Amino acid sequence: MSIVHQQTVQMKQVSHGNFLMRNVLKHNVVFNEGTRGDAAYILTEGKIEISGIIEGHKKVFAILKPISIFGEMALFLDDNTRTATAIALQDSKVIVVTKDDLEEYMRDSPKVISSIITVLVSRLKSTTRKAMKVPSTGMGVVRILDLFSANGTTTLRYDATVRSMADTFITTPERIEQYIHGLAQQGLLSVGRDEHDTRIIRLLKRNLLHEVMKKKD
């Protein structure tokens, strides 16, 4: 996939107001995670992918279709840093809304419209925070194993479990193995082989999550 940097995306003046419209070709980057941003975007045509890098792996947070607003976080975060990457999945058109544009619009809009916009922005910020929040992989591993144990499954195939958890948490199998062996050292599970010489995980505690939380206290 050919990625074209943001600077190469053509811009043209919108006939009404001071807003700019970008024509974004398929696979072009609108903005990159970690870069500084001074504008939000309203998608009017096409399709935009919002993604981020979590533990070295790409994670897609949303696929946007018209009419959608994105990139608004850069207008509200103190350091104006982009929390995700936006890439066009199709030839797209986006309206560029700068911080000054937004503030002017909110000042000039009727009070009720400003209130609606404020609520919308708050909801969007909350949604983005939840999407970008990286869960504790270690506790995630514990919760999955605890679920198996609570439902009477105390023996799991090692390789399949590690691969599945690595895919679920978008991390490496090696990291999942570190957590599993850490639980084994705490006496909460054991790693061995069954009668067919298949590597297995054997859960030794019925309430694994409770045991882990008790050890933390």
pLDDT digits (tens, 9 = 90+) for 156-198: 889 988 988 887 667 789 999 999 999 999 999 999 998 989 9
- pLDDT for 1 equals 34
155/83 same-domain check = no
116 inside domain: no
95/146 same-domain check = no
pLDDT tens for residues 3-29? 333 333 333 333 344 568 889 999 999
130 inside domain: no
118 inside domain: no
43/91 same-domain check = yes
Q: Provide the whole-model pTM.
A: 0.48
Instruction: Give the domain CATH number at 148.
Output: 1.10.10.10
Dump the DSSP string for the chain: ---B-GGGSEEEE-SSTT-EEEEE-TTBEEE-TTSB--EEEEEEES-EEEEEEETTEEEEEEEE-SSEEE-GGGGTSTT-B-SSEEEESSSEEEEEEEHHHHHHHHHHS-HHHHHHHHHHHHHHHHHHHHHHPPP-HHHHHHHHHHHHHHTT--EEEHHHHHHHHHHHTTS-HHHHHHHHHHHHHTTSEEEEE-TT--EEEEE--SSHHHHHHHHH-
123 inside domain: no
pLDDT tens for residues 28-54? 999 998 898 888 888 999 999 999 887
* Structural domain total, the chain: 2
Q: Give the residue numbers spanning the domain of 157.
A: 137-214
112 inside domain: no
Mean pLDDT of 198-202: 92
